[in-house]
Structure 1
Amino acid sequence: MAPTNSVVTAVRVLEAVGERQPVGLSDLARAVALPKSTVQRTLRTLAEVGWCVTDDTARWRLTYRAFAVGNQARDAGGLRAVAVPVLHELQLATGETVHLAAPDGRELVLLERLDTAHRLRAFLPLGHRIPLHASATGQAYLAACTPAEVDAYLAGPLEPSTRHTVVDPDLLRARIAEVRERGWSVNPEGLSDGIAAVGAPVLGPDGRPVGALSVSGPTVRMSEEVFDDHGRAAADAARRISRDLGARP
C-alpha cells in the first residue's frame, strides 16, 4: 500500500471508529468498505501511536488523544472565543439551549453548546455534524451564502432527518429567502423529533458566513408564540458576534 493510501485509510478508519465506537472489526470493515486484514493492520498502527484502543470484547474506540487534538481545532478560527460571552447572554435571555456551529463541507460541526436548566431540553454532542438543509443553523448559514453556493448545495443529496425535514429544493429556496428577509430561521422538528429551533448566521470580516447559532428546545416550550422573540434575540446575538469578528454592519 502506497504511503498516501495508507494515510487516507488511517483517516477513514479513525473517523469510522469515532462515529461508531465502540465498534468491532467486522462492522468497521463494512463501514469503510475495506478488507478486514487492512482495517486490522490500520487499527494496530493507530493503537501503537495512541489514537485507538480495544477492550476485552475486541471492540475499538478512540483514546483521549483524539479528543485533545480535536479540541485544539475546535476554535482554530477564533469564532468560539469571540462568541461564547454573547452566547451566555443569549442562553440566559431565552432560557433554552444555545448552539454554535461552523461549516465543514456540506455540514456544520457543533463547536459549543450552552445547556438550559430545564430537565427536558435539546441535546447534540459537541462535534456533531449537522446537515445544512435539516437544521436551523444550517438554513441560517445557507441564507448568508451566495445564490450559486445555495444552488450547488441543493443540487446534492438532501436526506431527511425526521418526517418534518424539508428536502424539496424549491421549498428550501423559499425558506432560505424567508430567512434572508426576516433575519433568522425557524425549523420546527426538522432535525430532531420534538425539538424546534431558531437560528441566525455569523459573518466574518469579509461578510461571508463563518458559522451560525441557534436557540433550541422542546416544542412544548419552543412554539410559534416564542419564535419571533427568540429569533430576534438569536439574530441580535449573531450580529454582535459578527461585529466583534470584524464584519461590517
Structure 2
Amino acid sequence: MATGSVVSAIRVLEAVGERQPAGLSELTRAVGLPKSTVQRCLLTLAEVGWCRTDDRARWLLTYRAFAVGNRARDAGELRERALPVLHELQMTTGETIHLAAPDGRELVLVERLDTAHRLRAFLPLGQRIPLHASATGQAYLAACPESAVDAHLAAGPLEAVTPRTVVDPDALRARLAEVRARGWSINPQGLSEGIAAVGAAILGPDRAPAAALSVSGPTVRMTEAVFDGHGRAAADAAARISRELGAPV
C-alpha cells in the first residue's frame, strides 16, 4: 500500500472512532477525501478487522482497535505505576480521578476512576482533552518551558469549549503562572459545564511533564471550599507518581 493510501486509511479510521456509528457521507465530509477513496479505505479496514458496519450500514470500530489502543495505555508504564496512587487519591477525595497523557496539542484520557456518587464527572477513555480548557491540560502546560507555551499559543486561536473556557492568551498565561505558584490547577467549568476540577502535572525522569491527573466533580460538591484540600491531594499524588517514574522530585 502506498504511503498516501496508508495516511488516508488512518485518517478514516480516526474519523470512525470519533464519530461512530457514522455513515459513508459523514465520514467523507469529515476527512475531506473523495467518497470512493473513503469507501475503499473502509473496505480495507473491514477486511483486516479494524472496522465493521451495523444493520444501518454505519461504520464502527471493532474490538481489535480497542485491544491495540488498550496496550498503548501502558506505554512507558505510566498507568501501571500510577494506578495504586490514583486509587488512594480517589478514596481520599471521593471524586472522579482522571489520568491523561500528551498527544500532540492535546491530552488523551488513559485512565478514569469513578466516584460512587450518582452525580459525577464523566469523560470516556480515549477522549482528547484540550490543554487550555482542562485542569489536566493547564497543569501540564504550566510544567512546560515557556517556549513550549509560546509554541502552543502560536499554533492557532484557542477554542471555547464552554462559556468559562480560558481563550485569551494573556489570561491563560496568567492562569499558568497561578498554577506554578500554587502547585496545582483549578478549572471551574472550563471543560464541561457544571463540572469543576483540580489538576497536577506528572514529571518524567528529565523533569519534563509526562502526564497529568485531575480530581473532577459537579460544582455542587467541587466548590471553592474543597479546592485547596483536593488540590494539595492531587499535587501530592502527582509527585508520588513522578518519583515512581524516576523524576528527581
TM-score between the two structures when normalised by the length of structure 2 = 0.99
Report 1:208-227 matches (<5 A): 208-227=208-227
Alpha-carbon separation, structure 2, partners of 1:157 and 1:5: 29
How far residue 77 of structure 1 moved from its aligned partner, in angstroms, is 1.2
How far residue 75 of structure 1 moved from its aligned partner, in angstroms, is 1.2
Report 1:188-227 matches (<5 A): 188-227=188-227
Letter of the 1:184 partner, please give it.
W
Letter of the 2:212 partner, please give it.
A
Query: Which sections of structure 1, spanning at least 5 residues, go unmatched?
Result: none
Q: Secondary structure at the match of 2:75?
A: coil
What does residue 64 of structure 1 align with?
63
Report 1:18-57 matches (<5 A): 18-57=17-56
Q: Moved runs in structure 1, 4+ residues, more than 2 A?
A: none
Report 1:1-249 matches (<5 A): 3-155=2-154, 156-249=156-249
Alpha-carbon separation, structure 2, partners of 1:180 and 1:55: 48
Alpha-carbon separation, structure 2, partners of 1:68 and 1:237: 28
Q: Secondary structure at the match of 1:46?
A: helix
Alpha-carbon separation, structure 1, partners of 2:65 and 2:37: 21
Identity in percent: 79
Q: Secondary structure at the match of 1:145?
A: coil
How far residue 168 of structure 1 moved from its aligned partner, in angstroms, is 0.2
Alpha-carbon separation, structure 1, partners of 2:124 and 2:170: 31
How far residue 169 of structure 1 moved from its aligned partner, in angstroms, is 0.3
Q: Deviation string for 1:92-147 (max 9, x for gaps)?
A: 00000000000000000001000000000000000000000000000000010000
Q: Deviation string for 1:208-235 (max 9, x for gaps)?
A: 0000000000000000000000000000
Alpha-carbon separation, structure 1, partners of 2:90 and 2:195: 16
How far residue 157 of structure 1 moved from its aligned partner, in angstroms, is 2.6
- RMSD, aligned α-carbons: 0.7
TM-score between the two structures when normalised by the length of structure 1 = 0.99
